[in-house]
Amino acid sequence: MSVENVPSGNKQWFVLRVTYGRIIKAQTFVEAKGLECYVPLHYKEIWKQGKRRIIIEPLIPSFLFVHASAERVDYLLQDKSIKPLENRALLSYYYDHTSHCENSPTKNPPLVISDAAMDNFIRLISIHNPHIIPVTSENIKYKLGDEVVITEGEFKDIRGRVARIAGQQRVLVKLFDGCLVATAYVPTSALSFSKI
């Protein structure tokens, strides 16, 4: 069956694991198949030869987000060309370890991100600020776990939880366990506490 004949179905955001160091190759491959994908990039401040520079690099080097139907993603991952000479798949599903498949209680389903959560994440990553950082749960000290919406400044309308990271009050956006991103410092006056 050709890709054009695969039923479109409902599109969802699937999380795909990419073999190390091949994120751009994976993005090119997915886009060549006509699928929408997102690679989170961020601005990082580095010092090179005594000069401050801002570079762009993948925020999460081992994940690619694909917006497509389950059938299209299955078809993509069955493509023989994603296993190059070293016989390691370029792409594979990242599984949701918090739930089980209906048909097989010993297997986990592929991880899917809601459109609202993905929109919030993309909006945050699209801001050109080198102080937006990926974090691990070990670095986080939640400030009462407050859930907020940022009401002003460059992070306006970003939703997340208030956390203290690197000694600063920031808003933490969580897509799934292991994928957490923090804003730069946000003053309390720019936060609206709400139920998310």
Alpha-carbon distance of 135 to 171, in angstroms, equals 12
pLDDT band at 6; cut points 50, 70, 90: very low
Mean pLDDT, residues 163-192: 88
pLDDT (tens digit per residue) in 112-159: 999 999 999 999 999 988 788 888 776 566 665 668 999 999 999 999
Task: Give the contacts of 116 (CB within 8 A, at least 6 positions apart).
Answer: none
pLDDT (tens digit per residue) in 81-96: 666 545 567 888 888 7
What's the whole-number average pLDDT of the chain? Answer: 83
| pLDDT value at residue 119 | 95
